């Protein structure tokens, strides 16, 4: 089974960036407790009020099951609520896992 990588690029208004960062630990805690196959995540600040969330999943099936749940817990909903606009969402397979 190959590790699935979720790449989500989104915009956060500058006046909501602090709230988004404050909500991040709660979202990650909810993911760890509720999302089978969640391996970890990294948040990257990009220019122009954009962010890139790089999330690792054990499998494509685990990622799909997570997407189906949406913002089902308060920590996840708080984080998602700070997002002003979804720019892009992509899914791939980790290519250098054994290197």
> How does pLDDT run across 24-39, given as a tens digit for each residue?
999 999 999 999 999 9
Tokens of 94: 């980790």
pTM of the model: 0.92
Model pLDDT, residue 30: 98
Model pLDDT, residue 58: 97
**Residue that is written with structure tokens 């602090």 in the block:** 18
**Which backbone phi and psi does 61 adopt, to 5 degrees?**
-65, -40
Spans in the chain with pLDDT lower than 50: 99
Under 8 Å between Cβ of 7 and 54: yes
Domains of the chain: 4-91 (3.30.70.100)
Q: Exposed/middle/buried for 71, CB within 10 Å: 0-12, 13-18, 19+? A: middle
């Amino acid at each position: 089974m190959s590790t699935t990588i979720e790449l989500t690029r989104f915009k956060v208004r500058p006046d909501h960036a602090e709230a988004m960062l404050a909500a991040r630990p709660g979202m990650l805690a909810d993911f760890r407790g509720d999302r089978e196959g969640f391996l970890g995540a990294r948040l990257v600040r990009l220019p122009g009020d954009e962010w890139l969330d790089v999330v690792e999943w054990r499998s494509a099936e685990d990622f799909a099951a997570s997407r189906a749940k949406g913002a089902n817990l308060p920590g996840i909903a708080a984080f998602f609520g700070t997002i002003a606009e979804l720019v892009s969402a992509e899914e791939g397979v980790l290519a250098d896992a054994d290197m």
